[in-house]
Chains A and B, each alone.
Chain A
Amino acid sequence: MSILLQGWSLYIRATHRWPGVAALIPFIPVVAVWAIIAESGLFPRVFFPGPVDVVHSFVSLTYKGILPDYLYDSLVRLAAGASIGMLLGIPLGIWIGTNRIAHRICWPVLLFFQAIGDIAWLPILLIWFGFGLSTMTFVIVYTVLFPIVLNTVLGVESVSRDLGRAARSLGASPARVLWEVTLPGALPNIITGLRNGLGYGWRALIAVEMIVGTSGIGFMMFDARRAGSVVEIMVGMIVLGLLWYIVDGWILAPIERATGRRWGLVTA
Protein backbone atom coordinates (compact mmCIF):
# COMPACT_ATOMS: atom_id res chain seq x y z
CA MET A 1 0.00 0.00 0.00
CA SER A 2 2.72 2.43 0.99
CA ILE A 3 4.54 1.73 -2.25
CA LEU A 4 1.39 2.61 -4.16
CA LEU A 5 1.02 5.82 -2.18
CA GLN A 6 4.65 6.71 -2.77
CA GLY A 7 4.23 6.10 -6.46
CA TRP A 8 1.14 8.26 -6.51
CA SER A 9 2.86 11.12 -4.71
CA LEU A 10 5.76 10.84 -7.12
CA TYR A 11 3.29 11.07 -9.98
CA ILE A 12 1.60 14.13 -8.48
CA ARG A 13 4.95 15.86 -8.05
CA ALA A 14 6.07 14.94 -11.57
CA THR A 15 2.89 16.29 -13.13
CA HIS A 16 3.33 19.51 -11.20
CA ARG A 17 6.78 20.00 -12.62
CA TRP A 18 6.11 18.75 -16.16
CA PRO A 19 2.39 19.10 -16.99
CA GLY A 20 2.96 17.26 -20.29
CA VAL A 21 3.53 14.06 -18.34
CA ALA A 22 -0.06 14.15 -17.10
CA ALA A 23 -1.31 13.68 -20.64
CA LEU A 24 0.83 10.59 -21.26
CA ILE A 25 1.17 8.59 -18.03
CA PRO A 26 -2.56 7.67 -17.75
CA PHE A 27 -2.28 5.69 -20.96
CA ILE A 28 0.35 3.35 -19.53
CA PRO A 29 -2.01 1.31 -17.32
CA VAL A 30 -4.60 1.19 -20.12
CA VAL A 31 -2.04 -0.21 -22.55
CA ALA A 32 -0.85 -2.63 -19.87
CA VAL A 33 -4.38 -3.94 -19.22
CA TRP A 34 -4.94 -4.18 -22.96
CA ALA A 35 -1.72 -6.20 -23.32
CA ILE A 36 -2.64 -8.52 -20.44
CA ILE A 37 -6.13 -9.21 -21.82
CA ALA A 38 -4.70 -9.83 -25.30
CA GLU A 39 -1.97 -12.15 -23.98
CA SER A 40 -4.34 -14.07 -21.71
CA GLY A 41 -6.10 -15.46 -24.78
CA LEU A 42 -9.54 -14.57 -23.46
CA PHE A 43 -10.49 -13.44 -26.96
CA PRO A 44 -9.08 -14.94 -30.17
CA ARG A 45 -5.93 -13.09 -31.16
CA VAL A 46 -7.40 -12.22 -34.56
CA PHE A 47 -10.29 -10.34 -32.99
CA PHE A 48 -8.34 -8.73 -30.19
CA PRO A 49 -4.68 -8.10 -31.05
CA GLY A 50 -2.27 -6.78 -28.43
CA PRO A 51 -0.33 -3.51 -28.40
CA VAL A 52 2.80 -5.18 -29.82
CA ASP A 53 0.90 -6.38 -32.90
CA VAL A 54 -0.51 -2.91 -33.39
CA VAL A 55 2.94 -1.32 -33.17
CA HIS A 56 4.29 -3.86 -35.67
CA SER A 57 1.45 -3.13 -38.02
CA PHE A 58 1.96 0.62 -37.57
CA VAL A 59 5.64 0.31 -38.43
CA SER A 60 5.02 -1.83 -41.48
CA LEU A 61 2.20 0.42 -42.75
CA THR A 62 4.43 3.45 -42.29
CA TYR A 63 7.35 1.68 -43.96
CA LYS A 64 5.23 0.75 -46.96
CA GLY A 65 4.14 4.38 -47.15
CA ILE A 66 0.43 3.58 -46.97
CA LEU A 67 -0.23 5.27 -43.66
CA PRO A 68 1.57 8.57 -44.39
CA ASP A 69 -0.10 8.84 -47.80
CA TYR A 70 -3.57 8.19 -46.45
CA LEU A 71 -3.02 10.50 -43.52
CA TYR A 72 -1.90 13.24 -45.87
CA ASP A 73 -4.99 12.72 -48.06
CA SER A 74 -7.33 12.91 -45.08
CA LEU A 75 -5.69 16.02 -43.66
CA VAL A 76 -5.68 17.85 -46.99
CA ARG A 77 -9.37 17.10 -47.45
CA LEU A 78 -10.18 18.29 -43.96
CA ALA A 79 -8.11 21.47 -44.34
CA ALA A 80 -9.62 22.30 -47.73
CA GLY A 81 -13.15 21.67 -46.49
CA ALA A 82 -12.61 23.67 -43.32
CA SER A 83 -11.12 26.65 -45.19
CA ILE A 84 -13.98 26.83 -47.66
CA GLY A 85 -16.43 26.42 -44.79
CA MET A 86 -14.88 29.33 -42.91
CA LEU A 87 -14.73 31.58 -45.97
CA LEU A 88 -18.43 31.02 -46.56
CA GLY A 89 -19.57 30.71 -42.98
CA ILE A 90 -18.15 33.77 -41.24
CA PRO A 91 -19.46 36.41 -43.70
CA LEU A 92 -22.81 34.63 -43.85
CA GLY A 93 -23.00 34.51 -40.06
CA ILE A 94 -22.17 38.20 -39.73
CA TRP A 95 -24.74 39.14 -42.35
CA ILE A 96 -27.44 37.08 -40.65
CA GLY A 97 -26.43 38.35 -37.23
CA THR A 98 -26.58 42.03 -38.15
CA ASN A 99 -29.58 41.96 -40.44
CA ARG A 100 -32.91 41.43 -38.76
CA ILE A 101 -34.82 40.34 -41.85
CA ALA A 102 -32.06 38.01 -43.00
CA HIS A 103 -32.12 36.49 -39.54
CA ARG A 104 -35.89 35.87 -39.66
CA ILE A 105 -35.65 34.25 -43.08
CA CYS A 106 -32.45 32.27 -42.73
CA TRP A 107 -32.54 31.01 -39.15
CA PRO A 108 -35.23 28.31 -39.59
CA VAL A 109 -33.69 27.23 -42.88
CA LEU A 110 -30.27 26.96 -41.25
CA LEU A 111 -31.62 24.95 -38.33
CA PHE A 112 -33.40 22.57 -40.66
CA PHE A 113 -30.45 21.99 -42.97
CA GLN A 114 -28.14 21.57 -40.02
CA ALA A 115 -30.51 18.93 -38.66
CA ILE A 116 -30.38 16.92 -41.89
CA GLY A 117 -26.76 16.25 -41.06
CA ASP A 118 -23.81 15.59 -43.28
CA ILE A 119 -23.98 11.86 -43.84
CA ALA A 120 -27.61 11.93 -44.91
CA TRP A 121 -26.51 13.93 -47.98
CA LEU A 122 -24.20 11.19 -49.09
CA PRO A 123 -26.58 9.07 -51.20
CA ILE A 124 -27.83 11.99 -53.29
CA LEU A 125 -24.33 13.44 -53.58
CA LEU A 126 -23.14 10.12 -54.94
CA ILE A 127 -25.80 10.38 -57.63
CA TRP A 128 -24.85 13.99 -58.41
CA PHE A 129 -21.06 13.84 -58.28
CA GLY A 130 -20.20 10.15 -58.23
CA PHE A 131 -17.56 8.60 -56.04
CA GLY A 132 -14.90 11.25 -55.76
CA LEU A 133 -13.34 14.30 -54.31
CA SER A 134 -16.24 16.70 -54.93
CA THR A 135 -18.56 14.48 -52.92
CA MET A 136 -16.15 14.42 -49.99
CA THR A 137 -15.45 18.15 -50.15
CA PHE A 138 -19.15 18.95 -50.28
CA VAL A 139 -19.86 16.85 -47.19
CA ILE A 140 -17.03 18.41 -45.19
CA VAL A 141 -17.85 21.98 -46.20
CA TYR A 142 -21.49 21.30 -45.36
CA THR A 143 -20.58 19.90 -41.95
CA VAL A 144 -18.15 22.65 -41.02
CA LEU A 145 -20.37 25.46 -42.32
CA PHE A 146 -23.32 25.18 -39.92
CA PRO A 147 -21.56 25.28 -36.56
CA ILE A 148 -19.55 28.27 -37.81
CA VAL A 149 -22.57 30.17 -39.12
CA LEU A 150 -24.76 29.46 -36.09
CA ASN A 151 -22.02 30.38 -33.62
CA THR A 152 -21.07 33.51 -35.55
CA VAL A 153 -24.69 34.64 -35.43
CA LEU A 154 -24.79 34.00 -31.68
CA GLY A 155 -21.52 35.90 -31.27
CA VAL A 156 -22.67 38.90 -33.30
CA GLU A 157 -25.89 39.03 -31.32
CA SER A 158 -24.07 38.80 -28.02
CA VAL A 159 -22.26 42.07 -28.73
CA SER A 160 -24.11 44.72 -26.79
CA ARG A 161 -25.98 47.07 -29.13
CA ASP A 162 -24.89 50.02 -27.03
CA LEU A 163 -21.28 49.40 -28.04
CA GLY A 164 -22.24 49.69 -31.70
CA ARG A 165 -24.28 52.80 -30.97
CA ALA A 166 -21.43 54.33 -28.99
CA ALA A 167 -19.01 53.71 -31.84
CA ARG A 168 -21.45 55.20 -34.36
CA SER A 169 -22.02 58.29 -32.25
CA LEU A 170 -18.27 58.75 -32.00
CA GLY A 171 -18.18 58.91 -35.78
CA ALA A 172 -17.31 55.36 -36.81
CA SER A 173 -18.56 54.27 -40.21
CA PRO A 174 -20.65 51.06 -40.39
CA ALA A 175 -17.62 49.28 -41.85
CA ARG A 176 -15.49 50.31 -38.89
CA VAL A 177 -18.18 49.26 -36.44
CA LEU A 178 -18.16 45.89 -38.15
CA TRP A 179 -14.38 45.62 -38.08
CA GLU A 180 -13.70 47.02 -34.62
CA VAL A 181 -16.81 46.18 -32.61
CA THR A 182 -18.83 43.36 -34.12
CA LEU A 183 -16.06 41.13 -35.37
CA PRO A 184 -13.86 41.19 -32.24
CA GLY A 185 -16.95 40.78 -30.08
CA ALA A 186 -18.04 37.75 -32.03
CA LEU A 187 -14.55 36.23 -32.25
CA PRO A 188 -14.74 33.92 -29.22
CA ASN A 189 -17.96 32.40 -30.56
CA ILE A 190 -16.53 32.12 -34.07
CA ILE A 191 -13.58 30.16 -32.74
CA THR A 192 -15.87 27.93 -30.71
CA GLY A 193 -17.91 27.34 -33.85
CA LEU A 194 -14.77 26.49 -35.79
CA ARG A 195 -13.73 24.02 -33.13
CA ASN A 196 -17.15 22.32 -33.07
CA GLY A 197 -17.28 22.36 -36.85
CA LEU A 198 -13.90 20.69 -37.17
CA GLY A 199 -14.97 18.08 -34.61
CA TYR A 200 -18.03 17.24 -36.69
CA GLY A 201 -16.21 17.62 -40.01
CA TRP A 202 -13.48 15.26 -39.01
CA ARG A 203 -15.98 12.55 -38.05
CA ALA A 204 -17.89 13.13 -41.27
CA LEU A 205 -14.66 12.73 -43.22
CA ILE A 206 -14.05 9.32 -41.65
CA ALA A 207 -17.58 8.20 -42.48
CA VAL A 208 -17.37 9.47 -46.04
CA GLU A 209 -14.02 7.81 -46.59
CA MET A 210 -15.48 4.55 -45.34
CA ILE A 211 -18.45 4.69 -47.66
CA VAL A 212 -16.99 6.46 -50.71
CA GLY A 213 -13.60 4.96 -50.12
CA THR A 214 -10.72 5.70 -52.43
CA SER A 215 -8.03 6.69 -49.93
CA GLY A 216 -7.64 8.17 -46.46
CA ILE A 217 -7.63 6.88 -42.92
CA GLY A 218 -11.32 6.01 -42.95
CA PHE A 219 -10.81 4.01 -46.13
CA MET A 220 -7.82 2.23 -44.63
CA MET A 221 -9.90 1.19 -41.62
CA PHE A 222 -12.80 -0.02 -43.69
CA ASP A 223 -10.54 -1.80 -46.13
CA ALA A 224 -8.93 -3.55 -43.18
CA ARG A 225 -12.40 -4.47 -41.99
CA ARG A 226 -13.14 -6.13 -45.33
CA ALA A 227 -9.91 -8.08 -45.01
CA GLY A 228 -10.78 -8.91 -41.41
CA SER A 229 -7.60 -7.30 -40.08
CA VAL A 230 -8.43 -5.92 -36.64
CA VAL A 231 -4.82 -4.81 -36.17
CA GLU A 232 -4.99 -2.29 -39.00
CA ILE A 233 -8.35 -1.00 -37.78
CA MET A 234 -6.80 -0.39 -34.37
CA VAL A 235 -3.83 1.39 -35.96
CA GLY A 236 -6.29 3.63 -37.77
CA MET A 237 -8.28 4.37 -34.63
CA ILE A 238 -5.21 5.19 -32.58
CA VAL A 239 -3.77 7.44 -35.28
CA LEU A 240 -7.09 9.24 -35.57
CA GLY A 241 -7.42 9.65 -31.83
CA LEU A 242 -3.88 10.91 -31.35
CA LEU A 243 -4.11 13.25 -34.30
CA TRP A 244 -7.31 14.89 -33.17
CA TYR A 245 -6.11 14.95 -29.58
CA ILE A 246 -3.07 16.93 -30.70
CA VAL A 247 -4.93 19.25 -33.06
CA ASP A 248 -7.71 19.94 -30.59
CA GLY A 249 -5.73 20.03 -27.38
CA TRP A 250 -2.60 21.83 -28.55
CA ILE A 251 -3.92 24.10 -31.31
CA LEU A 252 -7.67 24.73 -31.19
CA ALA A 253 -8.28 24.80 -27.44
CA PRO A 254 -5.42 27.25 -26.73
CA ILE A 255 -6.64 29.54 -29.53
CA GLU A 256 -10.13 29.39 -28.08
CA ARG A 257 -8.84 30.16 -24.61
CA ALA A 258 -6.65 33.01 -25.87
CA THR A 259 -9.46 34.70 -27.82
CA GLY A 260 -11.79 34.20 -24.91
CA ARG A 261 -9.34 35.96 -22.60
CA ARG A 262 -8.45 38.67 -25.09
CA TRP A 263 -11.89 39.49 -26.44
CA GLY A 264 -14.25 37.84 -23.97
CA LEU A 265 -14.60 41.12 -22.10
CA VAL A 266 -16.61 42.59 -24.95
CA THR A 267 -19.38 40.07 -24.51
CA ALA A 268 -19.58 40.41 -20.75
Chain B
Amino acid sequence: MPATPSDKFRPRQWPRAISPLVGAFVFVAPLLVLVAIWAIVVPVFHVNPRIFPSVGSVGRAALDSIMDGSLFMHVGASLLRVFVGTLIGIVTAVPLGIAMGISSGISAFLTPLLRFFSVLAGIAWIPIATLWFGYGAGAIIFVIFNAVFFIVAYNTLLGVTTIPHAVRNAAASLGAGRRAMLVEVLLPGALPNIVTGIRTGLGFAWRALIAAEMIATNVGLGYMLFVARDFYRTEVIVLGMIIIGLIWLLIDRLILVRLERSTIERWGMVRRS
Protein backbone atom coordinates (compact mmCIF):
# COMPACT_ATOMS: atom_id res chain seq x y z
CA MET B 1 0.00 0.00 0.00
CA PRO B 2 1.51 3.32 -1.00
CA ALA B 3 2.02 5.70 1.86
CA THR B 4 -0.25 8.71 1.54
CA PRO B 5 0.93 12.06 2.82
CA SER B 6 -1.71 12.10 5.50
CA ASP B 7 -0.52 8.99 7.28
CA LYS B 8 3.13 9.76 6.70
CA PHE B 9 2.86 13.05 8.53
CA ARG B 10 0.20 12.12 11.05
CA PRO B 11 1.04 13.81 14.33
CA ARG B 12 2.20 11.27 16.84
CA GLN B 13 0.02 11.21 19.85
CA TRP B 14 -0.84 7.84 21.24
CA PRO B 15 1.16 6.16 23.92
CA ARG B 16 2.84 9.00 25.75
CA ALA B 17 -0.39 10.37 27.13
CA ILE B 18 -2.06 7.13 28.21
CA SER B 19 -0.24 6.61 31.48
CA PRO B 20 3.29 6.87 32.78
CA LEU B 21 3.36 3.08 33.26
CA VAL B 22 2.55 2.40 29.62
CA GLY B 23 5.04 5.08 28.64
CA ALA B 24 7.74 3.39 30.67
CA PHE B 25 6.86 0.03 29.11
CA VAL B 26 7.01 1.44 25.58
CA PHE B 27 10.42 2.84 26.45
CA VAL B 28 11.75 -0.37 27.96
CA ALA B 29 10.21 -2.80 25.44
CA PRO B 30 12.83 -2.34 22.69
CA LEU B 31 15.57 -2.94 25.23
CA LEU B 32 13.83 -6.12 26.41
CA VAL B 33 13.61 -7.27 22.79
CA LEU B 34 17.33 -6.66 22.49
CA VAL B 35 17.99 -8.80 25.57
CA ALA B 36 15.74 -11.53 24.13
CA ILE B 37 17.72 -11.51 20.86
CA TRP B 38 20.91 -11.73 22.88
CA ALA B 39 19.50 -14.67 24.87
CA ILE B 40 18.57 -16.51 21.65
CA VAL B 41 21.60 -15.74 19.50
CA VAL B 42 24.35 -16.69 21.94
CA PRO B 43 23.29 -20.35 22.55
CA VAL B 44 22.04 -20.92 18.98
CA PHE B 45 25.30 -19.90 17.34
CA HIS B 46 27.49 -21.35 20.12
CA VAL B 47 29.27 -18.04 20.64
CA ASN B 48 32.52 -18.55 22.49
CA PRO B 49 32.04 -17.14 26.02
CA ARG B 50 35.45 -15.52 25.65
CA ILE B 51 34.01 -13.43 22.82
CA PHE B 52 30.56 -12.68 24.13
CA PRO B 53 28.89 -13.97 27.30
CA SER B 54 25.41 -15.45 27.58
CA VAL B 55 22.62 -13.67 29.46
CA GLY B 56 22.76 -16.28 32.20
CA SER B 57 26.45 -15.87 32.88
CA VAL B 58 26.09 -12.09 33.11
CA GLY B 59 23.22 -12.61 35.56
CA ARG B 60 25.36 -15.00 37.58
CA ALA B 61 28.25 -12.52 37.54
CA ALA B 62 25.85 -9.85 38.79
CA LEU B 63 24.60 -12.10 41.61
CA ASP B 64 28.12 -13.14 42.58
CA SER B 65 29.44 -9.62 42.71
CA ILE B 66 26.41 -8.43 44.67
CA MET B 67 26.85 -11.32 47.12
CA ASP B 68 30.51 -10.66 47.82
CA GLY B 69 29.92 -6.91 47.91
CA SER B 70 32.49 -6.08 45.23
CA LEU B 71 29.90 -4.55 42.90
CA PHE B 72 28.76 -2.05 45.50
CA MET B 73 32.34 -1.28 46.38
CA HIS B 74 33.22 -0.43 42.75
CA VAL B 75 30.01 1.49 42.06
CA GLY B 76 30.27 3.33 45.37
CA ALA B 77 33.88 4.33 44.77
CA SER B 78 33.08 5.63 41.27
CA LEU B 79 30.00 7.55 42.36
CA LEU B 80 31.80 9.07 45.33
CA ARG B 81 34.63 10.33 43.11
CA VAL B 82 32.23 11.84 40.59
CA PHE B 83 30.20 13.44 43.35
CA VAL B 84 33.16 14.98 45.18
CA GLY B 85 34.88 16.20 42.01
CA THR B 86 31.67 17.65 40.57
CA LEU B 87 30.70 19.35 43.82
CA ILE B 88 34.08 21.06 44.19
CA GLY B 89 33.93 22.03 40.52
CA ILE B 90 30.47 23.60 40.69
CA VAL B 91 31.06 25.37 44.01
CA THR B 92 34.20 27.05 42.71
CA ALA B 93 33.18 27.62 39.09
CA VAL B 94 29.83 29.37 39.53
CA PRO B 95 31.03 32.27 41.75
CA LEU B 96 34.10 32.70 39.56
CA GLY B 97 32.03 32.72 36.38
CA ILE B 98 29.64 35.32 37.78
CA ALA B 99 32.46 37.50 39.10
CA MET B 100 34.11 37.44 35.70
CA GLY B 101 30.87 38.15 33.88
CA ILE B 102 30.10 41.37 35.75
CA SER B 103 32.50 43.44 33.66
CA SER B 104 32.24 42.95 29.92
CA GLY B 105 35.89 43.92 29.38
CA ILE B 106 37.20 41.36 31.84
CA SER B 107 34.93 38.65 30.52
CA ALA B 108 36.06 39.32 26.94
CA PHE B 109 39.64 39.12 28.16
CA LEU B 110 39.19 35.83 30.01
CA THR B 111 36.92 34.00 27.55
CA PRO B 112 39.76 32.68 25.34
CA LEU B 113 41.55 31.34 28.42
CA LEU B 114 38.48 29.53 29.67
CA ARG B 115 37.79 28.13 26.22
CA PHE B 116 41.32 26.85 25.92
CA PHE B 117 41.15 25.06 29.25
CA SER B 118 37.64 23.73 28.76
CA VAL B 119 38.91 22.22 25.52
CA LEU B 120 41.60 20.41 27.48
CA ALA B 121 39.17 19.40 30.21
CA GLY B 122 39.14 15.85 31.48
CA ILE B 123 41.04 13.05 29.87
CA ALA B 124 44.04 15.10 28.70
CA TRP B 125 44.86 15.80 32.36
CA ILE B 126 45.15 12.14 33.35
CA PRO B 127 48.92 11.73 32.74
CA ILE B 128 49.94 14.86 34.58
CA ALA B 129 47.38 14.34 37.36
CA THR B 130 48.79 10.88 38.06
CA LEU B 131 52.28 12.35 38.25
CA TRP B 132 51.28 15.17 40.56
CA PHE B 133 48.93 13.25 42.86
CA GLY B 134 50.12 9.68 42.39
CA TYR B 135 47.84 6.81 41.40
CA GLY B 136 44.62 6.84 43.36
CA ALA B 137 41.53 8.81 44.25
CA GLY B 138 43.31 12.18 44.35
CA ALA B 139 44.30 12.11 40.69
CA ILE B 140 40.84 10.96 39.61
CA ILE B 141 39.00 13.60 41.62
CA PHE B 142 41.34 16.21 40.16
CA VAL B 143 40.53 15.06 36.62
CA ILE B 144 36.79 15.17 37.30
CA PHE B 145 37.02 18.55 38.99
CA ASN B 146 38.90 19.77 35.96
CA ALA B 147 36.34 18.47 33.50
CA VAL B 148 33.50 20.14 35.41
CA PHE B 149 35.18 23.36 36.52
CA PHE B 150 36.20 24.93 33.23
CA ILE B 151 33.04 24.03 31.34
CA VAL B 152 30.76 25.27 34.13
CA ALA B 153 32.80 28.47 34.57
CA TYR B 154 32.72 29.11 30.82
CA ASN B 155 28.99 28.54 30.63
CA THR B 156 28.31 30.69 33.70
CA LEU B 157 30.29 33.49 32.12
CA LEU B 158 28.35 33.01 28.91
CA GLY B 159 25.09 33.09 30.85
CA VAL B 160 25.94 36.30 32.68
CA THR B 161 27.07 38.06 29.52
CA THR B 162 23.86 37.12 27.67
CA ILE B 163 21.69 38.88 30.26
CA PRO B 164 20.50 42.00 28.45
CA HIS B 165 22.04 45.16 29.78
CA ALA B 166 18.61 46.75 29.91
CA VAL B 167 17.57 44.23 32.57
CA ARG B 168 20.64 44.96 34.70
CA ASN B 169 20.23 48.69 34.26
CA ALA B 170 16.54 48.48 35.13
CA ALA B 171 17.30 46.60 38.34
CA ALA B 172 20.03 49.07 39.23
CA SER B 173 17.83 52.10 38.58
CA LEU B 174 15.09 50.57 40.72
CA GLY B 175 17.57 50.59 43.58
CA ALA B 176 18.87 47.02 43.61
CA GLY B 177 22.02 46.72 45.70
CA ARG B 178 24.88 44.39 44.90
CA ARG B 179 23.28 41.54 46.78
CA ALA B 180 19.89 41.93 45.14
CA MET B 181 21.57 42.27 41.75
CA LEU B 182 23.45 39.03 42.31
CA VAL B 183 20.57 36.99 43.73
CA GLU B 184 17.75 38.36 41.63
CA VAL B 185 19.33 39.24 38.29
CA LEU B 186 22.71 37.65 37.61
CA LEU B 187 22.21 34.23 39.16
CA PRO B 188 18.73 33.53 37.77
CA GLY B 189 19.70 34.97 34.40
CA ALA B 190 22.71 32.72 34.12
CA LEU B 191 20.97 29.66 35.59
CA PRO B 192 19.92 27.99 32.31
CA ASN B 193 23.48 28.23 31.04
CA ILE B 194 24.91 27.04 34.36
CA VAL B 195 22.71 23.94 34.28
CA THR B 196 23.62 23.25 30.66
CA GLY B 197 27.27 23.59 31.63
CA ILE B 198 26.86 21.15 34.50
CA ARG B 199 25.23 18.63 32.18
CA THR B 200 27.97 18.92 29.54
CA GLY B 201 30.73 18.88 32.14
CA LEU B 202 29.33 15.83 33.89
CA GLY B 203 29.08 14.04 30.56
CA PHE B 204 32.79 14.56 29.97
CA ALA B 205 33.58 13.83 33.62
CA TRP B 206 31.77 10.48 33.59
CA ARG B 207 33.73 9.32 30.56
CA ALA B 208 36.97 10.67 31.98
CA LEU B 209 36.23 8.80 35.20
CA ILE B 210 35.99 5.46 33.41
CA ALA B 211 39.20 6.15 31.49
CA ALA B 212 41.03 7.32 34.60
CA GLU B 213 39.91 4.29 36.58
CA MET B 214 41.26 2.00 33.90
CA ILE B 215 44.63 3.68 34.19
CA ALA B 216 45.10 4.94 37.67
CA THR B 217 43.39 3.04 40.46
CA ASN B 218 42.52 -0.29 42.00
CA VAL B 219 38.84 0.18 42.71
CA GLY B 220 35.92 1.53 40.65
CA LEU B 221 33.88 0.56 37.61
CA GLY B 222 36.60 1.26 35.06
CA TYR B 223 39.04 -0.84 37.04
CA MET B 224 36.49 -3.65 37.32
CA LEU B 225 36.16 -3.76 33.53
CA PHE B 226 39.82 -3.50 32.80
CA VAL B 227 40.86 -6.25 35.22
CA ALA B 228 38.15 -8.54 33.86
CA ARG B 229 39.78 -8.12 30.46
CA ASP B 230 43.02 -9.58 31.73
CA PHE B 231 41.18 -12.79 32.59
CA TYR B 232 38.92 -12.80 29.51
CA ARG B 233 35.89 -12.58 31.79
CA THR B 234 33.56 -11.07 29.22
CA GLU B 235 30.53 -11.58 31.48
CA VAL B 236 32.01 -9.15 34.03
CA ILE B 237 32.88 -6.67 31.26
CA VAL B 238 29.36 -6.73 29.83
CA LEU B 239 27.89 -6.46 33.32
CA GLY B 240 30.07 -3.42 33.95
CA MET B 241 29.06 -1.83 30.65
CA ILE B 242 25.38 -2.31 31.42
CA ILE B 243 25.83 -0.79 34.87
CA ILE B 244 27.78 2.17 33.49
CA GLY B 245 25.04 2.76 30.92
CA LEU B 246 22.24 2.45 33.46
CA ILE B 247 23.87 4.77 35.99
CA TRP B 248 24.51 7.45 33.40
CA LEU B 249 21.01 7.07 31.96
CA LEU B 250 19.56 7.54 35.45
CA ILE B 251 21.77 10.53 36.29
CA ASP B 252 21.17 12.18 32.93
CA ARG B 253 17.47 11.51 32.35
CA LEU B 254 16.14 11.63 35.90
CA ILE B 255 18.24 14.48 37.28
CA LEU B 256 20.06 16.56 34.67
CA VAL B 257 17.50 16.68 31.86
CA ARG B 258 14.70 17.51 34.28
CA LEU B 259 16.81 20.16 35.97
CA GLU B 260 17.69 21.66 32.59
CA ARG B 261 14.12 21.67 31.37
CA SER B 262 12.68 23.17 34.54
CA THR B 263 15.29 25.92 34.78
CA ILE B 264 14.81 26.84 31.14
CA GLU B 265 11.05 26.89 31.58
CA ARG B 266 11.29 28.86 34.78
CA TRP B 267 14.16 31.24 34.02
CA GLY B 268 14.56 31.01 30.26
CA MET B 269 12.45 34.18 29.90
CA VAL B 270 15.29 36.25 31.26
CA ARG B 271 17.58 35.11 28.51
CA ARG B 272 15.20 35.46 25.62
CA SER B 273 13.93 38.99 26.24
Q: Is the CB of A228 within 8 A of B207?
A: no
> Quick one: closest B residue to A238, CB to CB?
B120
Proximity string of chain A (144-174) to chain B, C-beta cutoff 8 Å, 1 when within and 0 when not: 0000000000000000010011001100001
Whether B26 is near chain A, meaning CB under 8 Å from some CB there, is yes
Stretch binding the partner chain, chosen from B180-188, B190-198, B239-247, B263-271? B239-247
Whether A106 is near chain B, meaning CB under 8 Å from some CB there, is yes
Whether A179 is near chain B, meaning CB under 8 Å from some CB there, is no
Q: Is the CB of B245 within 8 A of A117?
A: yes
> Quick one: closest B residue to A30, CB to CB?
B113
Please indicate the chain A residues that have their CB under 8 angstroms from the CB of B174 in the complex.
none
Q: Is the CB of A203 within 8 A of B123?
A: yes
Task: Give me 23 A-to-B residue pairs in the complex whose CB atoms sit less than 8 angstroms apart, sorted by A's number.
Answer: A22-B112, A26-B112, A100-B10, A108-B27, A112-B31, A112-B245, A115-B246, A117-B206, A117-B248, A118-B207, A120-B222, A121-B241, A124-B234, A128-B51, A161-B11, A174-B3, A207-B207, A210-B126, A210-B127, A221-B127, A237-B125, A242-B116, A245-B115
Within 8 A of A (CB), among B243-258: 244-246, 248-249, 252-253
Contact of A241 among B117, B222, B232 (CB under 8 A): B117
Give B residues with C-beta under 8 Å from A.
3, 5, 8-12, 15, 26-31, 34, 50-51, 105, 108-113, 115-117, 119-120, 122-128, 130-132, 203-204, 206-208, 210-211, 214-215, 221-222, 225-226, 228-229, 232, 234, 237-238, 240-242, 244-246, 248-249, 252-253
> Quick one: closest B residue to A207, CB to CB?
B211
> Quick one: closest A residue to B4, CB to CB?
A168
Q: Is the CB of A119 within 8 A of B237?
A: no
In the assembled complex, the Cα of A23 lies from the Cα of B116 at a distance in Å of 10
Please indicate the chain B residues that have their CB under 8 angstroms from the CB of A133 in the complex.
none
Least Cβ–Cβ distance between A214 and chain B, in angstroms: 16
Whether A47 is near chain B, meaning CB under 8 Å from some CB there, is yes
Please indicate the chain A residues that have their CB under 8 angstroms from the CB of B214 in the complex.
119, 122-123, 211
Whether A92 is near chain B, meaning CB under 8 Å from some CB there, is no
Please indicate the chain B residues that have their CB under 8 angstroms from the CB of A126 in the complex.
229
Whether A206 is near chain B, meaning CB under 8 Å from some CB there, is yes
Least Cβ–Cβ distance between B268 and chain A, in angstroms: 16
Q: A117-B245, A211-B215 are in contact. Are A27 and B112 (CB under 8 A)?
A: yes
Q: Is the CB of A108 within 8 A of B112?
A: no
> Quick one: closest A residue to B114, CB to CB?
A26
Q: Is the CB of B124 within 8 A of A109?
A: no
Please indicate the chain B residues that have their CB under 8 angstroms from the CB of A24 in the complex.
112
Range class of the A interface residue count: 35 or more
Q: Is the CB of B127 within 8 A of A164?
A: no
Least Cβ–Cβ distance between B36 and chain A, in angstroms: 13
Contact of A109 among B8, B30, B115, B119 (CB under 8 A): B30
Whether A255 is near chain B, meaning CB under 8 Å from some CB there, is no
Q: Is the CB of A119 within 8 A of B229?
A: no
Please indicate the chain A residues that have their CB under 8 angstroms from the CB of B34 in the complex.
109
Least Cβ–Cβ distance between B130 and chain A, in angstroms: 6
Q: Is the CB of B245 within 8 A of A222?
A: no
> Quick one: closest A residue to B53, CB to CB?
A124
Q: A8-B105, A203-B207, A225-B128 are in contact. Are A105 and B30 (CB under 8 A)?
A: yes
> Quick one: closest B residue to A243, CB to CB?
B119
Contact of A117 among B9, B111, B207 (CB under 8 A): B207
Whether A204 is near chain B, meaning CB under 8 Å from some CB there, is yes
Please indicate the chain B residues that have their CB under 8 angstroms from the CB of A124 in the complex.
229, 234, 237-238, 241
Please indicate the chain A residues that have their CB under 8 angstroms from the CB of B31 in the complex.
108-109, 112
Please indicate the chain A residues that have their CB under 8 angstroms from the CB of B11 in the complex.
161
Proximity string of chain A (122-137) to chain B, C-beta cutoff 8 Å, 1 when within and 0 when not: 1110111000000000
Q: Is the CB of A123 within 8 A of B115?
A: no
Q: Is the CB of B127 within 8 A of A120?
A: no
Q: Is the CB of B120 within 8 A of A100?
A: no
Q: Is the CB of A233 within 8 A of B112?
A: no
> Quick one: closest A residue to B232, CB to CB?
A127
- Chain A CB count within 10 A is highest, among B105, B116, B125, for B116
In the assembled complex, the Cα of A113 lies from the Cα of B211 at a distance in Å of 17
Please indicate the chain B residues that have their CB under 8 angstroms from the CB of A200 in the complex.
203-204, 207
> Quick one: closest B residue to A100, CB to CB?
B12
Q: A109-B34, A117-B248 are in contact. Are A244 and B119 (CB under 8 A)?
A: yes
Please indicate the chain A residues that have their CB under 8 angstroms from the CB of B123 in the complex.
203-204, 206-207, 210
Whether A240 is near chain B, meaning CB under 8 Å from some CB there, is yes
Whether A104 is near chain B, meaning CB under 8 Å from some CB there, is yes
Least Cβ–Cβ distance between B74 and chain A, in angstroms: 13
In the assembled complex, the Cα of A242 lies from the Cα of B50 at a distance in Å of 42
Q: Is the CB of B30 within 8 A of A108?
A: yes
